[in-house]
Structure 1
């Protein structure tokens, strides 16, 4: 990754965040919660993909239509976020695989 790639990435991120700041306050709050959740859960292609800009597009359309943000996504922000990444490989999956387990299975507990 060259310096030009880093500069371009920063420009894109700043433009993205400017769009987020232009959203109504309730949309901004929910977006930041979704973003925080996704950064913790970690789909591998989060920053390279179109997920976050797609959420902003969806929110901009909802705000323009006069819809409340919870009317669009439902009451459970985490469930909405999980639905967005249900077919994506996550850092949690990679970690589980590194431990030699199938993703989504818990380790046996010893008494």
Structure 2
């Protein structure tokens, strides 16, 4: 590309940006399909959510349904959901790091999501 200045580099940069956009869309779809699990109360409550953090289900051991223990049950449910969402955030961060490294981007670079 003689005589065109930096246009060759610009074309290469545009191609890399398109590749990044495609890979990010693929990763978003993969994260939406990946299920992570959080638990509380030694497994009495289990929460499932996507790696994007969307809650998809709860499993509650029926032995904890005692009227006098209502607040304990509520706390266990919340703890399981928070654990699942924490695991989802960690999974998303891990996938983002893996993707940025594969693209040769600096470690810890924040991408737009």
User: Do they superpose with TM above 0.5?
Assistant: no
Normalised TM-score (structure 1): 0.28
Pair member with larger Rg? 2
Higher relative strand content: 2
Higher relative contact order (CA 8 A, sep 6+): 1
Task: Give the TM-score of the pair, scaled to structure 2.
Answer: 0.28
